[in-house]
Amino acid sequence: MIKVAVLGYGTVGSGVVEVIESNNAEVSVKAGEEMHVKYILDLRDFPGDPYEDRVIHDFNVILNDAEVSVVCEVMGGVGAAYQFTRQLLEAGKSVCTSNKELVAKHGAELLEIARNKKCSYMFEASVGGGIPVIRPITKALTAERIEKITAILNGTTNYILSKMEKEAADYGDTLKKAQELGYAERNPEADVEGYDACRKVAILSSLMMGKNVDSEKIYTEGISKISAADFEYAKAAGMTIKLLATSEALEDGSVLAMVAPAFVSGEHPLAVVNDVFNGVFVRGNMLGDVMFYGRGAGKLPTASAVVSDVIDCARHIGRSSIICIWDREEAKLADVAESRKRFFVRAKASAGEKAAEIFQGCSFVDAGRTEDIGFFTEEMSEKSFEEKSSAFGEALLSRIRLA
């Protein structure tokens, strides 16, 4: 029998217990032994809950119980969660988590401890919710040199952008509706400013590079400046706008990572990743492009991913199941200013002549609007674009990169 403890009885924690109980036949067969949740650690009590007898308040009960071999850390944060995870791994207990903040910040160190202690630190649920992303990248694409990742990693912003497109609505109104429906938090900053996607792409980048990619050094831009007018131009050009998290392994050994809204061709598979769904596009040197698509959040999908990690750990008791490389050495981040791409520009109608002059070779998009103009530049460095576009001054209404 595999005895499991769950740290944190919130949304994901209760989902983990539900998946292990509801799918117990499937889970136990796959784990090779019956699986049982022995403890649920939480500060609160849950009178009336079907599992109230398993709720405890003292972490040390779990740490010191030799029967518990796998622990799910689904409490979040980088304080107690970090201390608990360290102690558990040091004690040789495997830890499975959905805590992207902790993984992004201390993943390399926690993986090292797990390896040394012949147990596992697993985090499938930290990126893409229920979509298998971490495991395919680390355990399936093993014959590949991964060259580039292009992904929609945040369900809230994708929901907002999808609605803006469908309903020709502005950002502010759409955010408000999303908050009313529970798709966006009351304090939506972590989502809409791209911080959540940034942590996730830091994790994927670290796995791609085999070195630590510091999320705080990744250039990050949110969606709050995107307007209904931008979508009109995107539509006229057969495109859409998505918040993309991208990461590319450059030939000089550095990594070019960023989070920013981008114009995406309507024919690109990421263009149909709508609403709260996520999509992760991976380019391998042998394989070409593969994409993983599904629900990027939600109680049961996320819990299902945590439990798939628990099963993996259960099959590797006494040895580490970790196959990924993620050293503590810091990866070198490439300078975004030097990276080259095309840009979409929306400017006041009066700036039309200036546009053709400054951005020679640019192509105008006819969206049937008179208030403003929109055009695509030729490919240039970000730095060069900033220099040129500064000539527009206040006439510049928006600029969005092309994917």
Task: List, by residue number, the catalytic residues.
Answer: 200
287 binding a second copy? (CB under 8 A): yes
How many residues appear in the chain?
A: 403
Angstrom distance (rounded) from CA 144 to CA 288? 10
Indicate whether 132 belongs to the interface with a second copy (CB under 8 A): yes
Contact with a second copy (CB under 8 A): which of 55, 119, 131, 152? 131
Quote the tokens at residue 70: 């796998």
Question: Does 40 sit near a second copy (CB under 8 A)?
Answer: no
Nearer to a second copy, 118 or 340 (CB): 118
Residue 35 β-bridge partners: 2
CA–CA gap between residue 359 and residue 374 (Å, rounded): 12
Least Cβ distance, residue 267 to a second copy (angstroms): 7
CA distance readout (Å), 322 to 95, 111, 139, 363: 12, 8, 9, 49
CA distance 401 to 96: 36
Phi-psi region of 260 (alpha: psi -120 to 50; beta: other; left: phi over 0): beta
Distance CA 377, CA 162 (A): 25
Is 155 a binder of a second copy (CB under 8 A)?
no
Q: Check residue 139 for interaction with a second copy (CB under 8 A).
A: yes
Binding residue for a second copy (CB under 8 A) from 80, 91, 291, 358? Answer: 291
Q: How far is the CB of 152 from a second copy (least distance, A)?
A: 12
Does residue 142 interact with a second copy by CB under 8 A? yes
- Choose between 133 and 362: whose C-beta lies nearer to a second copy: 133
CB of 288 to a second copy, least distance (A): 5
Whichever of 115 and 342 has its CB closer to a second copy, that residue is 115
Amino acid at 32: G
* CB-based contact 215:104 (threshold 8 Å): yes
Q: Which is nearer to a second copy, 277 or 344 (CB)?
A: 277
- Closest contact distance (angstroms) between CB of 305 and a second copy is 8
| Contact positions with a second copy (CB under 8 A) in 57-116 | none
Nearest of 157, 336, 175 to residue 261 by alpha carbon: 157
Q: Is 293 in the site for a second copy (CB under 8 A)?
A: yes
124 binds a second copy (CB under 8 A): yes
Contact letters for a second copy, residues 341-360 (x by CB under 8 A): --------------------
- Contact with a second copy (CB under 8 A) among 284, 381, 384, 399: 284
Residue with smaller CB distance to a second copy, 56 or 325: 325
Distances (CA, A) of 197 to 122, 291, 326: 19, 17, 19
User: Of 124 and 372, which CB lies nearer to a second copy in the complex structure?
Assistant: 124
48 binds a second copy (CB under 8 A): no
| 141, 130 contact by CB (below 8 A) | no
Distances (CA, A) of 381 to 50, 147, 200, 202, 221: 59, 20, 26, 23, 17
User: How many other C-beta atoms lie within 10 A of the C-beta of residue 368?
Assistant: 6
Any alpha helices (H) in 239-293, and if so which ranges?
A: none
Site size for a second copy (CB under 8 A): 55
Nearest approach, Cβ of residue 123 and a second copy (Å)? 13
What residue type is assigned to position 322 of the chain? I
Contact letters (x/-) for a second copy, 10-29, by CB under 8 A?
A: ---------xx-xx--xx-x
Is 163 a residue that touches a second copy (CB under 8 A)? no
Q: Which member of 43, 251, 286, 394 binds a second copy (CB under 8 A)?
A: 286
CA 173/CA 169 separation, integer angstroms: 7
Which residue in 68, 207, 303, 365 binds a second copy (CB under 8 A)?
303
Q: How far apart are CA 284 and CA 287, in angstroms?
A: 5
Looking at the DSSP bridge assignments, the partners of residue 39 are 5
Q: Which of 70, 257, 273, 373 is in the footprint of a second copy by CB under 8 A?
A: 273
Report DSSP state, residue 268: S
The number of helices, as runs of H, and strands, as runs of E, in the chain is 14, 18
Q: Which residues bind a second copy (CB under 8 A)?
A: 19-20, 22-23, 26-27, 29-31, 124, 130-132, 135-136, 139-145, 267-269, 271-274, 284-295, 298, 300-301, 303-305, 307-308, 310-312, 315, 323, 325
